[in-house]
Amino acid sequence: MRPGHPTEQAVGMEYYVSDADGVGGRLREDDADFRVRELERFDTEPVDAPTDAYPHLVFRATLQGWDTNDFASRLSDALGISRERVNWAGTKDKYAVTTQLFSVYGADPADLPEIDGVEIEVLGRAGRNLEFGDLAGNAFELVVTDPERPENAAAITDALCEFGGLDERHRSGGSADGSSEDATSIGVPNFFGQQRFGSRRPVTHKVGLAIARDDWEGAVMAYLGNPTEAEPESTQEARTFVEETRDWQEALERVPHRLRYERSMIHALAEYDGEPGPEEFREALERVPSNLQRLFVHAAQSYAFNLMLSERLERGLPFDRPVEGDVVCFSDTDAPDGLALPDTDRLQRVDERRVDSVTRHCERGRAFVTAPLVGTETELADGEQGEIERAVLDDLGLEPADFDLPGEFDSTGTRRAVLLRTDLRLETEPLTLEFALPKGSYATVVSREYLKVNSVDLG
């Protein structure tokens, strides 16, 4: 174990599991060097099924140079329909080659347009639209550009294999995307990656923490202020001006139009005649889309979760098996072959008499130790893990009841596996990492162990 990169420590990822120096280099030199394919879990009927019962056309799209939202907008414009009639199961990045499912209400295959950078494969029809979560996970193929120490990849793999903790019978085999049997089972802490908090300007958790503390002014200012060197100079100057003056009218002249969410908040504050109070700051924060409002709170929960995992590492507690007081979840029995998919609706508290039996389930990949994404319904663990959870919340000045919040900010919480396991294939020419992850997990928490570079270079 060694200290993490400072940019990652700032969002709670305080350690690397592997001690070896990273291979160095960078990801996403070219879109084709970062490939993502959804592991699908959505049934369809034949394309000639009756449209009254199955009105949603389902297709698989491979996108290059498109993020999911922009493609959905381009598609709906070409079809002459509302953007709300286009749905998908998971959002993907623009700077990659991505393959994912879409559904379109009321469309026929002949209606689908040809779009540059897009390949479409019609799959059939469905009685409902795709929703977030209608996938088991994602398969990744990542090419490392200009690695400085590619020979270190083997030592890193050995360390991650040991950390994953599967018994010998379950350490090798084919991966969920059908790769060959030269894959090695590895494990890493199931951190929330840098993208959760903002890759170049990690502030969403700061906003969420202020919301949970009922500090609406602090939440707004955390989003409007906090300039970083990764931003253009004009943006840094505008954020500094807002922090120093609170002159909302003048801020509208200075804040670039591309910062549309910041400008929405500033417009709300500029409309108020007088000095804004907590209610006005809350209303300003509610000007941003509802999914971003939820993201703020989720980022605060994710930050606390990362800190809990880092403290578990610091204390030397295992990730691959429980200790007394842990809360475990069991595997999803409907997951694709070779993909370990935790089901956090099936929880069990581990007391002294259950430690050995639950350990055997964990060794076989059938159960997973968890930590909380804290919300109003969270029940903290017992034992040493419970001490960790309570200490982190105390340090942050939070408790589960603080997430009883208005509107989109409210969160009941859940639990999440602390260990992320995957079958990894390693190619050397060029250095390439191939693996599959369950939905909600981040490829960067695997790649960070190998490269050990600034998170900006992880894409």
Nearest-CA neighbor of 216 among 291, 294, 292, 276?
276
Q: Per-residue pLDDT tens for 288-329?
A: 888 889 999 999 999 999 999 999 999 999 999 999 999 999
Which pLDDT does position 170 carry in this prediction?
46
Q: What average pLDDT does the chain have?
A: 91
Q: Per-residue pLDDT tens for 427-457?
A: 988 999 999 999 889 999 999 999 999 887 7
Which pLDDT does position 317 carry in this prediction?
97
In contact, 367 and 331? CB cutoff 8 Å: yes
Block residue for tokens 């956090």: 344
Task: Return d(Cα 74, Cα 66) in angstroms, integer.
Answer: 10
Q: Per-residue pLDDT tens for 115-137?
A: 999 999 999 999 999 988 788 89
Confidence of residue 286 (pLDDT cuts 50, 70, 90): very high
Which pLDDT does position 135 carry in this prediction?
87
Q: Per-residue pLDDT tens for 69-126?
A: 889 989 999 999 998 899 998 888 888 999 999 999 999 999 999 999 999 999 999 9
In contact, 221 and 280? CB cutoff 8 Å: no
Specify the 3-state DSSP secondary structure of 19.
coil
Nearest-CA neighbor of 210 among 141, 139, 98, 303?
303
In contact, 190 and 441? CB cutoff 8 Å: yes
Which pLDDT does position 383 carry in this prediction?
96
Block residue for tokens 């700032």: 10
Mean pLDDT of 177-206: 83
Residue type, 167: D
Nearest-CA neighbor of 190 among 454, 459, 438?
438
Mean pLDDT of 134-145: 92
Task: Return d(Cα 410, Cα 125) in angstroms, integer.
Answer: 35
Mean pLDDT of 174-178: 47
- Residue 1, exposed/middle/buried by CB under 10 A (0-12, 13-18, 19+)? middle
Q: Compute the Cα dihedral for 204, 207, 212, 213 and give only its sign.
A: positive
Q: Compute the Cα dihedral for 443, 449, 451, 453 and give only its sign.
A: positive
Number of residues assigned to the chain:
459
Which pLDDT does position 46 carry in this prediction?
96
Q: Which of 176-185, 249-258, 356-365 has the lowest mean pLDDT?
A: 176-185
Give the helix, strand, coil percentages of the chain, each rounded to 5. Answer: 40, 20, 40
Beta strand pairing status for 419-428 and 431-438? antiparallel
The catalytically annotated residue of 31, 52, 93, 457 is 93
31 labelled catalytic: no
In contact, 376 and 413? CB cutoff 8 Å: yes
Residues forming a β-bridge with 120? 61
In eight-state DSSP terms, residue 44 is -
In contact, 28 and 95? CB cutoff 8 Å: yes
Give φ, ψ of 12 to 5 degrees: 95, -5
In contact, 375 and 414? CB cutoff 8 Å: yes
Task: Return d(Cα 25, Cα 347) in angstroms, integer.
Answer: 40
Residue 27, pLDDT above cutoff 70:
yes
Nearest-CA neighbor of 306 among 442, 139, 164, 411?
442
Task: Return d(Cα 16, Cα 5) in angstroms, integer.
Answer: 9
**CA 41 remoteness from chain centre:** 19
Residues forming a β-bridge with 15? 3
Integer CA distances (angstroms), 67 to 56, 104, 141, 234, 368, in order: 22, 17, 18, 26, 33
Residue type, 39: L
Which pLDDT does position 253 carry in this prediction?
94
- Residues 200-210, buried b or exposed e (16+ Cβ, 10 A)? ebbbbbbbbbb
Which pLDDT does position 180 carry in this prediction?
44
Nearest-CA neighbor of 336 among 422, 210, 398?
422
pTM beyond 0.85: the answer is: yes
Which pLDDT does position 169 carry in this prediction?
44
Residue 403, pLDDT above cutoff 70:
yes
Which pLDDT does position 431 carry in this prediction?
94
Residue 175, pLDDT above cutoff 50:
no
